[in-house]
Amino acid sequence: MFASLIVIILGLCHCIKDSNQTFQGFPQLSGPFEALESDTVKYKCKPPALLTNESILLQLVQRDQILDEKTSVSGETGNFTLKVKPSHEGYLKCVARVRNDSNIEHSVSSAQYLKVFDATEVFEGAMTNLLCSHNDATNVSYKWYLNGQLIPMSPSAKELSRQSTTSKDNGSYVCVATNRFNKKEYRTNSSEVIIRIKVRVSKPDIYFTVIKEDAHNYSAMVTCQSTYGTPYITFSLYNEEKLFANKTGEDRNVTFKVSVILGRNMGWFHCQASNGDRIVHSESLALRVVPVSGHVTVRFDSHLGKNYAVDSVTLFCEAENGTHPRYQWFLNNTLLDNKGRFYSVENQPPEQSLLLLSVGRSSVGTYHCNVSDSFDNTTAIGSKKLYLDEKVWNRLPDALVATVFACFTVLILLVSICCWVGVLFRRRRYGKTSLMGLEMQRTVAAYEGVLDVSQYVEDADEMTPPSGEEFDQASEASLDEWPDISAEKSFHGEPAEFP
């Protein structure tokens, strides 16, 4: 009884282990059967089912060499990438293994053959000539194929030439020679020639970011980046004229690590890039990292909307020193993200950061800004706090107020000066008139009793003596006008100041 129980338990254990821990079937490999040398190709491997969800290691294998490997956690397909070399021609397999259990038998996919073609690389714009070399037989006609498509050409064209290749000329070329002999046609295909049009690498850009390695060590991650160019591209980093390092890769960007001392000029750096043809240079970049220091100031500008009311406010934050500042804005001590309902942050590093506010009830509060080094956020320096509400942002800017005030003062001064000048000028004129008036008075006094004649005599000074008739008329006219004139003169002649 006891013995039979043990047997049953052992049997059960064996059952569980067996059914749970073997692959159910084989991995399935899929991908291209042909590839060009130095192309990047992708293969997929679907792992076989496993009853437990343990992670599966998938490997792309060729002649016992692991070309790539991926981990599949819950049965998902593994994606391999392969940079094709001539040696990759041959059978590829996918092997599935349970990661941490070497007791479990691995499972292998069926093999798939990869044929590798070598290609003739030609730079865009270069001249190419392909010659269909059959033999010197006469009566031979030729046909040219690019990627299986007939190229329209004269049947006598033994040579295919391109003055300036473009990306359209990329592909596999075959020529077929047809020879008529004794009323029979003999056709011969050439071998396939693969032309790969390469794009020259473009002038690289250079930039760097800073990282803090430990309490005392800082590094600049200098990136050289081109926007186009066919890989492989070799990037070299130069410090002044000295080669610092070079890297060759598939990417159009590489990063070099250069250790820096804060505050010190580490010299001028530039990148060079080449993918087989000419070498292109980047601009030079001064490698200098100055930590944030000094005062952090915040100021603001109000902007008028359509109806001449303030509708938005821009806050500016600036640190006195620092080549790699990171700005942070706070409202009532709460960090503001890059964009919110009523604000947006616009960083213009390293100079300043702007906080654009649309004014309203939610933008009322106390603002401040913190500036730290982008590579070390323990160095933050805070600005003074700035309280903003309707009263503050509607207040005219001091500069404007000062300008308006100055203009106003100048205007008042000008008006005053004008008045004074006017008064003085008039006074002088009045003075003259007064003297005249006094004389007149005297004259009038002297001719008292013969008023009509006196008036005439005065006028007559500047006149030729009139004839008798005229005299009478003038006299009459004078008589008519006299009371007015005398009134006027007496008025002018008796200013308060001249008694």
Ligand X SMILES: *[C@@H]1O[C@H](CO)[C@@H](O)[C@H](O)[C@H]1NC(C)=O
Q: Note the residues at the interface with ligand X (CB under 6 A).
A: 53, 74, 99-100, 145, 148, 174, 176, 189, 213-214, 216-217, 223, 225, 234, 245-246, 251, 253, 331-332, 362, 364-366, 377
Please, what is the minimum distance in Å from the beta carbon of residue 327 to ligand X?
Answer: 13
SS (H, E, C) 322-391: CCCEEEEEEECCEEECCECCCEEEEEECCCEEEEEEECCHHHCEEEEEEEEECCEEEEEEECCCEEECHH
Q: Are strands 193-198 and 119-123 parallel, antiparallel or unpaired?
A: parallel
CB nearer to ligand X: give 30 or 40.
40
CB 53 within 8 A of CB 44: no
Shortest approach of ligand X to residue 149 CB, angstroms? 9
- Nearer of residues 244 and 482 to ligand X, judged by Cβ: 244
Kindly state the smallest distance separating residue 176's Cβ from ligand X, in Å. Answer: 5
Among residues 41, 25, 44, the alpha carbon closest in space to that of 94 is found at 44
Long-range contacts at 242-251 (CB < 8 A, ≥ 24 apart): 244/269, 250/40, 250/83
Closest CB 6 distance from ligand X, rounded Å: 29
In this structure, are residues 107 and 93 in contact, taking their beta carbons and an 8 Å threshold? no
DSSP 66: E
Pairing assessment for the beta strands 352-358 and 343-348 based on DSSP bridges: antiparallel
Task: Please give the full DSSP string across 129-147, using - where no structure is assigned.
Answer: EEE----S-SSEEEEEEET
User: Cβ closer to ligand X: 65 or 74?
Assistant: 74
| Least separation in angstroms between CB 404 and ligand X | 31
Measured from the CB of residue 8, what is the shortest distance to ligand X in angstroms? 27
Q: d(Cα 366, Cα 63) in Å, to the nearest integer?
A: 70
Whether 305 contacts 311, CB under 8 Å: yes
In the complex, minimum distance from the CB of residue 401 to ligand X, in angstroms, rounded to a whole number: 26
In eight-state DSSP terms, residue 77 is P
Contact status, residue 56 vs residue 98, Cβ threshold 8 Å: yes
Say if CB 388 and CB 361 are below 8 A apart: no
Nearest to ligand X of 92, 237 (CB atom) = 237
> Of 232 and 268, which CB lies nearer to ligand X in the complex structure?
232
From the CB of 163, what's the least distance to ligand X, in Å?
A: 26
- For 316, half-sphere exposure in the C-beta direction (CA atoms, 13 angstrom radius) is 11
State the Cα–Cα distance between residues 66 and 62, nearest whole angstrom: 7
Considering beta carbons, is residue 4 or 149 the nearer one to ligand X? Answer: 149
What are the phi and psi torsion angles at 413 (to 5°)? -60, -50
Task: Kindly tell me which of 53 and 163 has the beta carbon lying closer to ligand X.
Answer: 53
To the nearest whole angstrom, how small is the minimum distance from the Cβ of residue 296 to ligand X? 16
Indicate the residue among 392 and 460 with the shorter CB distance to ligand X: 392
Output the residue with the shortest Cβ distance to ligand X: 365
Judged by CB, which is closer to ligand X: 378, or 464? 378
